[in-house]
Amino acid sequence: MSTIHILFENEDWMPPLRAALEARGLAYEEHLVTGGHLDLASVPRDGVFLNRMSPSAHTRDHQGGVRFLQQYLAVLESHGRRVINGSRAFGLEVSKVAQDIALRRAGIRTPRTLAVVGGSEALKRAARTMELPFITKDNQGGKGLGVQLFHDLDTFDAYVDGPQFVPGPDGVTLLQQYIQPAEPYITRVEIVDGELQYAIRSSTEGGFELCPADACAVDEQFCPVGGTGRFELATDITADDPLVQAYIQMMHENELDVAGIEFVEDANGVRYTYDINGTTNYNGDVEAQHGLSGMTSIVRLAERELAKQGISNAA
């Protein structure tokens, strides 16, 4: 029987998805992807595949899953299998350089960013071409990994020379223009299959590691500065907002089915987009308060894609 296949590596993010699938009465199979072998002569199972592999997988010792999935997606697509957030989308998920290129190509403003490969000396040279203040971040990140704010070069030099600096899993570190927000928050726009679900605002007063998933509220190791009080619905962001429309077009052009896209607005009202989250998670408290469910929208997308194959799906 054709089914929905969930490709994932983080158990903490699965309960809301399972609940949404079961509420719809849909059959599904879970596939924990942390590495393994791939028979290139085998024919993949029928069904729709939902990619839930996170760029922060390496923080759970699952970087092998990222590399494995990159190859597996190519195999699935070569056999015509429908993958929600397939290989093009995943290419954006694991590279903020690729994200910046896609956003700029779509005419969406991004902060000035340098991608640096090499040790501390390469980073120091690059930093001296940046205006202060600037931030660092991992190219393959997630959860705000590697994000540090620097107001002077001496502090930056000490950081990259010290034990706290650990390059990301792909060895690429970004130096990025710091946009001083007009208010201490960023905005995250949630889109599924070309439709705005809603937007949330996330307070930055406690730091930059902003993960809206419910697990953040209970697990400090998972998301060190998480907490339900940091997120609220941004009711002023609507589907006809020009930036939302630009996001939808960008997602269409890059075969990105599901995303949470983040921007910050400066004191002059200029909005800078800096992050695309393909493995987006939703804050249960915000959704419960306003009768929303992003996971239900993802599940309905998978259900529609199965229906296009002319095969019914029932648990």
Same domain, 19 and 42: yes
pLDDT at 214: 46
Evaluate whether residue 267 is within a structural domain.
yes
Same domain, 103 and 123: no
pLDDT at 312: 58
CA-to-CA distance for 52 and 211, rounded, in angstroms?
Answer: 15
pLDDT digits (tens, 9 = 90+) for 121-136: 999 999 999 999 999 9
The Cα-based distances of 64 to 54, 57, 72, 155 in angstroms read 12, 9, 12, 34
pLDDT at 314: 60
The tens place of each residue's pLDDT in the chain, 315 residues long, gives 579 999 999 999 999 999 999 999 999 999 999 999 999 999 999 999 999 999 888 888 889 999 999 999 999 999 999 999 999 999 999 999 999 999 999 999 999 999 999 999 999 999 999 999 999 999 997 666 678 999 999 999 999 999 999 999 999 999 999 999 999 999 999 999 999 999 999 987 755 445 554 444 433 332 323 334 479 999 999 999 999 999 999 999 999 999 999 999 999 999 999 999 999 999 999 999 999 999 999 999 999 999 998 765 665
Evaluate whether residue 313 is within a structural domain.
no
pLDDT digits (tens, 9 = 90+) for 37-89: 999 999 999 999 999 999 888 888 889 999 999 999 999 999 999 999 999 99
Same domain, 86 and 121: no
What's the angle, vertex CA 145, arms to CA 268 and CA 13, rounded to 5?
105
Same domain, 37 and 173: no
Pairing of strands 258-265, 271-277: antiparallel
Which residues sit opposite 231 in a β-bridge?
A: 202
pLDDT at 226: 34
Query: 108-137 burial by CB neighbour count: b if 16+ within 10 A, else e?
Result: bebbebeebeeeeeebeebbeebeeebbbb
- Please report, for the domain that includes residue 87, its CATH number: 3.40.50.20
Same domain, 217 and 259: yes
- Please report, for the domain that includes residue 213, its CATH number: 3.30.470.20
Same domain, 192 and 216: yes
CA-to-CA distance for 25 and 11, rounded, in angstroms?
Answer: 21
Give the H or E element holding residue 297: helix 294-308
Evaluate whether residue 119 is within a structural domain.
yes
The Cα-based distances of 281 to 17, 45, 190 in angstroms read 10, 27, 9
SS3 135: strand
Q: If you write DSSP's letter for every residue of 208-273 in order, what string do you get?
A: S----SGGGGT-TTTSTT--GGGEEE-TT--TT-HHHHHHHHHHHHTT--EEEEEEEEBTTS-EEE
Evaluate whether residue 314 is within a structural domain.
no
Q: Which of 128, 152, 177 is the last residue of a domain?
A: 177
Evaluate whether residue 104 is within a structural domain.
yes
Residue 62: count other Cβ atoms within 10 Å of its Cβ: 21
Give the H or E element holding residue 19: helix 14-23
Distance of CA 114 to the CA centre of its chain: 20
Distance of CA 15 to the CA centre of its chain: 18
Same domain, 163 and 73: no
Evaluate whether residue 144 is within a structural domain.
yes
pLDDT at 218: 33
| Number of domains within the chain | 3
Evaluate whether residue 240 is within a structural domain.
yes
Strands (E), the chain: 3-8, 28-32, 47-52, 82-84, 113-117, 134-138, 148-150, 172-177, 185-192, 195-203, 231-233, 258-265, 271-277
Same domain, 185 and 271: yes
Evaluate whether residue 45 is within a structural domain.
yes
Same domain, 186 and 231: yes
Same domain, 101 and 121: no
For residue 203, the enclosing domain spans 96-109+181-293
Same domain, 59 and 185: no
Q: Which of 141, 161, 177 is the last residue of a domain?
A: 177
- Please report, for the domain that includes residue 161, its CATH number: 3.30.1490
Same domain, 223 and 289: yes
Pairing of strands 148-150, 271-277: unpaired
